[in-house]
Amino acid sequence: MPGTKPKRKKAARPRDLRTLRGKTILVTGGAGFIGSNFIRYVLGRYEDIRVINLDKLTYAGNLDNLADIAGDPRYEFVRGDIRDAAVVAGILGRVQGVAHFAAETHVDRSILSGGEFVLTDVHGTYTLLEAVRNAPGIEFFLHVSTDEVYGSRDAGFFKETAALNPSSPYSASKVGADRLAHAFHVTYGTPALIVRPSNNYGPYQYPEKFIPLFTTNAMEDQALPLYGKGRNVRDWLHVEDNCRAIETVILRGETGQAYNVGANDERFNIDVAKRILKLLGKPVDLIKFVPDRLGHDRRYAVDCRKLKALGWKREVDFEAGLEETVRWYVENRNWWLKIKTKSAEYKAFIEKNYGVRS
């Protein structure tokens, strides 16, 4: 009708290319932060899914993260190394898909010593890809990469086609793994799907990472060691939004493709630190400026339009998500106290990383 606005058609969500219903999947690194949240997420969402969790239980692997589902008949735990080709091959004969989270993940640890990062993140991923190549019936290999593969950017956003320019031994190892997954797709037709998420936060994150370290330190009236001037920028993504993104890419992603995952909600570290203190009713002078991280990336920022076109959007707002996360650490004091007070490995790392800074 003249004068009336034409109705804009709502873009239809792309159809599912795969399904998780009735499938058995291998989750590597499922005893870590994101892996354990992902297992809980898929078991809650798909009644007929089965999950095999292969985890070496390094310092970061913790079966307490999965205590509530340990008895679920759809869940099986295998303690093992992703670099153990025989163990991996044995499991792949029983599954139709792989979600690969296992990695060494802490940038500061990679700066102190990068060897384990190359071995696990690069060679471990290679071992899995080789095994997938020789296993018929694998419908997808979802590789969890990171937004750190692009390196730092002062303004604008990285698209998936941007050059990879990693700064730390951690992110360089993740580039190796990310590109191996891609190369196996190109060379052998491996059904690889790659996600590159931004900084995750939420329950069960090991208290070496920024948000759980600062939250638990503040709860104990200990200093919050802020690197440099606290003006580095991170794009905080709630772990549940990341789990939904990974599910989306498994169901509807195109094999061989990489998908950025971010909240597009950037914060200066100092502002996040102040917000945590405010939520806990603690004084700002707990913040202690310490010498900067070597090669510290100033800002990460990714363009997520490719993922959004598959029907994903961020659902957890940072303010609400941070409040809920801080509450989780308050209510689950025993979970982190066990690590902070009983793990000799944790104490040794804290001394090594922060002792020299004080």
**List 170, 201, 204, 300, catalytic entry:** 170
Q: How far is the CB of 189 from ligand TDX (least distance, A)?
A: 28
Alpha carbon distance 320, 353 (integer Å): 31
Among candidate residues 81, 104, 121, 148, the one labeled active-site is: 148
Binding to ligand NAD (CB under 6 A): which residues in 276-335? none
**Beta bridge mates, 75:** 51
Partner interacting with residue 60 (select from ligand NAD, ligand TDX, none; CB below 5-8 Å by kind): ligand NAD
Figure out which of the listed residues 206, 300, 312, 346 binds ligand NAD, where binding follows CB under 6 A: 206
Scanning residues 223 to 262, which ones bind ligand TDX (CB under 6 A)? 225-227, 232, 234
Among 167, 199, 215, 260, binds ligand TDX (CB under 6 A): 199
CA nearest to 124, candidates 193, 174, 57: 174
Shortest reach from residue 221's CB to ligand NAD, in Å? 26
Residues 6+ apart with CB under 8 A from 118: 169, 173, 176
131 binds, among ligand TDX, ligand NAD, none (CB under 5 to 8 A by kind): none
User: Which residue lies nearer to ligand TDX by CB, 210 or 336?
Assistant: 210
Q: Which of 55, 104, 121, 147 is catalytic?
A: 147
CB of 289 to ligand TDX, least distance (A): 9
User: Rule CB under 6 A: which of 112-131 touch ligand NAD?
Assistant: 120, 124
Write out the binding residues for ligand NAD, residues 51-70 only, by CB under 6 A: 54-58, 60-61
List all residues 6 or more positions away from 332 whose beta carbon is below 8 Å from its beta carbon. Answer: 203
Among positions 55, 81, 148, 247, the unique one binding ligand TDX when judged by CB under 6 A: 148
Give the CA distances from residue 273 to residues 177, 210, 231, 280, 285, in Å, rounded to whole numbers and listed in that order. Answer: 32, 9, 11, 11, 11
Interatomic CA distance for residues 187 and 193, integer angstroms: 14
- Cα separation values, 210 from 118, 201, 350, Å: 23, 9, 13
DSSP reduced 3-state for 79:
strand
| CA nearest neighbour of 204 among 28, 27, 32, 29 | 32
For residue 168, state whether it binds ligand NAD (rule: CB under 6 A). no
Q: Which listed residue (146, 215, 242, 260) binds ligand TDX by CB under 6 A?
A: 146
Degrees, nearest 5: CA angle 164-154-273: 105
Tell me, yes or no, if 148 is annotated catalytic.
Answer: yes
Under the criterion CB under 6 A, does residue 212 sit at the interface with ligand NAD? no
Residues 92-121 as x/- pattern, contact with ligand TDX by CB under 6 A: -------------xxxx-------------
How far, in Å, CA of 129 to CA of 135, rounded?
A: 10
Q: Where does this chain touch ligand NAD (CB under 6 A) — which range of 24-32, 249-257, 266-274, 285-293?
A: 24-32
From 25, 39, 43, 144, residue interacting with ligand NAD (rule: CB under 6 A):
144
Rounded to whole angstroms, how far apart are CA atoms 145 and 53?
18
Q: Is 142 exposed, middle or buried (0-12, 13-18, 19+ CB in 10 A)?
A: buried
* Residues with catalytic function: 147-148, 170
